[in-house]
Amino acid sequence: MQVEPDPQRVSPLTPAHYFSPEVHALEQQRVFRRFWIFAGFTSLLREDDAFVTRRIGDVPIVIQNFGGRLKAFENICAHRQMALQWNFAGRRPLVCRYHGWGYDVSGQAQVPQADTLYAFAPEQRGKVRLREIALAQVGGFVFVNLSETPHALQEQFEPAFLEGLKDVSSHFDSEIIHTRVAAAYNWKLGFENVIDANHVPYLHESTFARNLPAPRPAPRARGRPSLRDLSWHQASRFAELKPADWRDRIAPYGDEPLYHNWFVYPNVNFVSVGGYSFALQQFNPIAADRTEILLMLFLATRRDALDFSPAVLWHNLQAEKRVLDEDIGALERLQAGLHAGARPAILGAHESRVAALLEWHAGLLR
Ligand code: FES
Ligand SMILES: [Fe+2]
């Protein structure tokens, strides 16, 4: 006998939502140019002239420290469209490498040889500026919003959630290790997968699952999903937290060693292992079937000298990457099988967090 699934529980997203270039283009408008998107940590931007470059959807941006003020601009020179900053992070004034145009805190261009080489009229000169992008700091987290009229941060995130981010970020160490990994699947699968704790005991049986508590059923969602419900924090006790001697040197976040998860809509998962170390994963869409995963890892503030911290960070990165590779190996296979005639996913009653996300996206893309 074939059991027909309850239509309520069939995903409202079709396979095409995961491979169609048209949907990918629509998401640039309705997701990545509309919502606040995590873009970096202030610990990378502490010094004057420090910068971070990112791609938010298909828009390259630079976040730059101008004498203590953080500003975000499109990372495209007003002259002939060269990228202004080239590295992921660094320290350098906002000056174009191509012909030397510099930019001040307001994004206005300082053009060398403006009179001779370019013969720009004085009134013309004042108008040459970069496109500024809205930026918001939540403790050590930096968010940007590409919209011309961005909604308030509190419309997207609960005040208590924002307070939580602020609180945890006061425990961040400034040393960060990062890597970017290319994966052949749709970015939405990446975010759905981190929300879906039920895959952990199966897919990560030999790595991650050993240390973690068994997944708990998520509460049933009521009514239509709201934007603020799509980001939340959860903390659970470890089945086993393997001891590590470097933890004695760390002042951990929280009163007891919990496994923390912050899900930051639309594309970030931020975790803390016991309050001692932190890891962020962000799923950035490159094409309908291509995602760049940014991994950033750091520790909580040190209690005393920890001169072997690079070794700890490197070890943590390897461990995180092994788990990520298991996810990528699975999700690339999932993506490869999607085709126009494939059936949509089916969700159980307790997969309500994933269901809410899918419903929300279906609403955005209608
Ligand atoms: S493109 Fe930037 S100075 Fe020419
Ligand atoms: Fe996973």
- Shortest-distance Cα residue to atom 4 of ligand 1: 99
pLDDT at 221 over 70: no
Query: Which of 31-40, 207-216, 302-311 is predicted least confidently?
Result: 207-216
Q: For residues 253 and 171, give the distance between their C-alpha atoms in angstroms, rounded to a whole number.
A: 6
Instruction: Show the tokens assigned to 72.
Output: 């975000």
What's the pLDDT score for residue 4? 56
Mean pLDDT of 76-93: 97
User: How far, in Å, is the centroid of ligand 2 from the Cα of 196?
Assistant: 8
CA distances to 66, 110, 111, 120, 303 from 115, in Å:
26, 12, 9, 6, 56
Which carries the bigger pLDDT value, residue 219 or residue 54?
A: 54
Whole-prediction pTM: 0.95
Ligand nearest to the CA of 102: 1
Instruction: Give 262-275 pLDDT, tens digit per residue.
Output: 999 999 999 999 99
Q: Which residues surround ligand 2, an ion (CB under 5 A)?
A: 327
* Residue with CA at minimum distance from ligand 1 atom 3: 99
Q: Is 101 in the pocket of ligand 1 (CB under 6 A)?
A: yes
Helix (H) or strand (E) holding 72: strand 69-74
Q: Is 182 exposed, middle or buried (0-12, 13-18, 19+ CB in 10 A)?
A: exposed
Residue 5 scores a pLDDT above 60: no
* Residue pLDDT, tens place only, 267-312: 999 999 999 999 999 999 999 999 999 999 999 999 988 888 999 9
Q: Comparing 144 with 126, which gets the higher pLDDT?
A: 144
Ligand 1 site, residue 94, Cβ cutoff 6 A: no
43-58 pLDDT, tens digit per residue, is: 999 999 999 999 999 9
CA of 164 to the centre of ligand 2 (A): 24
Contact 49, 91 (CB under 8 A): yes
What is the secondary structure of 285-303 as a DSSP string? Answer: EEETTEEEEEEEEEEBPBS
Atom of ligand 1 nearest to the CA of 81: 1
Euclidean distance between CA atoms 147 and 336, whole angstroms: 33
Give me the pLDDT at residue 1, please.
Answer: 46
Residue 189 CB neighbour total at 10 angstroms: 21
CA distances for 346 relative to 10, 156, 223, 352, 355, angstroms: 5, 27, 19, 12, 9
Flag whether pLDDT at 95 surpasses 80: yes
Model confidence pLDDT, tens digit, residues 308-341: 899 999 999 999 999 999 999 999 999 999 999 9
Question: What integer pLDDT is reported at residue 117 of this predicted model?
Answer: 87
Q: Which ligand is nearest to the CA of 193?
A: 2
pLDDT, mean of residues 4-32:
90
Residue with CA at minimum distance from ligand 1 atom 1: 80
User: Rounded mean pLDDT of the chain?
Assistant: 93
